[in-house]
Chain A
């Protein structure tokens, strides 16, 4: 039984900026459904007295002192940028033309 609709998969794909064809949507809806079902198995053992876990390590308060450490140089920072100008990362137009 399918719990994840095709529309939901299309929505998630849009949020992730992944363009999918109709055929891919059909295909992935089924695959994602299996994954969701698999993970849902956790629900069978999770009782009210077991808090949800977001981290496998029983640690809290891992912090560092507020001391400045060397940064990258601007050249290093921009080394992987496809394009740069005025020592800044160049990015495509942010808003579509209205």
Chain B
């Protein structure tokens, strides 16, 4: 096992003072089709090893691939959503290499005839500005098998004695989306990289073509980084950091490579064109494999597949199925809901835009919908290490609960009790409130009696309020609520207390 010493890095500001970073991002997305790209094997995640294979995806002699129609449609829709041109005619190609993750000894991909090309994606940055990332191409290919390395100390490929391969994933449809060199991002390059992958993920989610789970590997990013002296035209030598699997890592890996390249260049060295591996724990990359003669993939048109020629009518029909672009949708909803920029950003970071939309459609006010999903429910989910979608709480239930508060039947603390019941599976909010006997006392007589009693029992506090210290009334409200066993409207209690004391 080779021991790698830590690479020198230059502080980020110093790196940026001398160099302009240039990036190229390659994102692989596994499509959410039921079957593989070229055969009818299931794509279900997590199946027992080698139970989703057949002669085609095992590369057995004589097996013939047939293209998955839905995968082609998804590829066209992704291309259209990325403002790409769609090829009128294109072919698959064989990428020949020897590696046990592909039993055929080639990967069926596309080479010089991608199905989609020349597009762009506008990306929102943290400061509210937009950065346009040009798309070079999006092409169809297939995923590889999964290897388990045995005998190495850490389960890694280095030092392994042998490897065990599961081909369930081999042949799952992949779309590879490649940007043109991203220039001019300057010091915001790492942020642009993260924002691009984030925007792409939102877009693919909205298209409903993939579950885009970076942590499960259904979306993976390779980040190419190079530096050129500020103002220079010629691009520097790039490195490709492979399989960066979270948005945060994308940003960190790009930033790290900028600092590392700068240190090498400032020291008079030159960058080796190679792949790099990102390590989440150390926040650093290590050298992978240099470009070599073996990277001669001898692409040639796939003779077992006929060309794909999406008809104009099909492309136009698919264009009609495109969702509203996520950025436009966000702007429209923010205006409709009256959220501040900060509130909208919280909602987006919580991934709650869709669920709030449904809750509002079910009758809740936008403010209440936001309060429940990003407040109470998010808090409970965080505390239990779950996501809000793991609860038995539907948008309709939240709207119903909000209605019960709005009509004066429940106060906030009772509403939280009702939520306990809903989460415990006791039924709808109304059913839970009925079953648990939760209802605000509407009888003003009982409340007035409690108010008088509390004033009599707390003459000092009452005097403070009379003297103009209105905030002191809070203590009295608490006493009234206690006397009413929580079954009172706190707003009304406050009103009555102030009536009597001012």
Contact = CB atoms under 8 A, between A and B. Distances in A.
Interface of A: 11, 14-15, 17, 54-55, 57, 59-74, 77-78, 84-95, 98
B68 A64 contact: yes
Interface in B271-289: none
B164 A86 contact: yes
Q: What is the predominant secondary structure among interface residues of chain B facing chain A?
A: loop
B239 interface: no
Counting chain A CB atoms within 10 Å of each CB, which of B50, B148, B300, B308 scores highest?
B50
Contacts of A62: 66-67, 305-306
Given A64-B67, A74-B48, A87-B48, A93 B40 contact: no
Nearest to A80: B60
A64 B100 CA distance: 28
Contact of A78 (B50, B66, B148): B50
A15 B100 contact: no
Given A85-B150, A92-B162, 10 more contacts: A15-B293, A60-B308, A63-B72, A68-B35, A68-B40, A71-B42, A72-B58, A74-B51, A89-B103, A95-B158
Contacts of B100: 89, 91, 94
Contacts of A68: 34-35, 40-42
Interface of B: 2, 33-35, 39-42, 48-55, 58, 66-72, 89, 91, 96, 98-100, 103, 147-150, 157-158, 160-167, 293-294, 296, 298, 300-303, 305-310
Q: Report, nearest first, the 9 A-B pairs whose CB atoms are least far apart.
A: A69-B40, A54-B301, A88-B164, A66-B70, A63-B69, A60-B309, A91-B100, A87-B49, A59-B306
A85 B164 CA distance: 7
A94 B50 contact: no
Contacts of A57: 306
22 contacts: A14-B293, A54-B91, A60-B89, A60-B306, A61-B307, A63-B68, A66-B34, A66-B35, A66-B69, A71-B51, A71-B52, A71-B53, A77-B50, A84-B164, A86-B148, A86-B164, A87-B49, A87-B50, A88-B49, A88-B50, A89-B166, A92-B163
Nearest to B47: A71
A11 B296 CA distance: 10
A15 B51 contact: no
A72 B163 contact: no
Counting chain B CB atoms within 10 Å of each CB, which of A67, A84, A94 scores highest?
A94
Nearest to B148: A88
B54 to A, nearest CB: 5
Contacts of A71: 41-42, 51-54
Contacts of B158: 95, 98
B42 A55 contact: no
Contacts of B49: 74, 86-88
B307 A60 contact: yes
B207 to A, nearest CB: 16
Contacts of B301: 54-55
Contacts of A84: 164
B62 to A, nearest CB: 13
A61 B314 CA distance: 12
A26 B160 CA distance: 38
Contacts of B39: 69
Contacts of B99: 94
B46 to A, nearest CB: 14
A82 B33 CA distance: 32
Nearest to B41: A71
Contacts of A85: 150, 164
B69 A89 contact: no
Contacts of A98: 2, 158
Contacts of A67: 34-35, 40
A92 B157 CA distance: 11
A69 B35 contact: yes
Nearest to B44: A68
Contact of B167 (A55, A60, A77): A77
Contacts of A93: 160-163
Contacts of B164: 84-86, 88-91
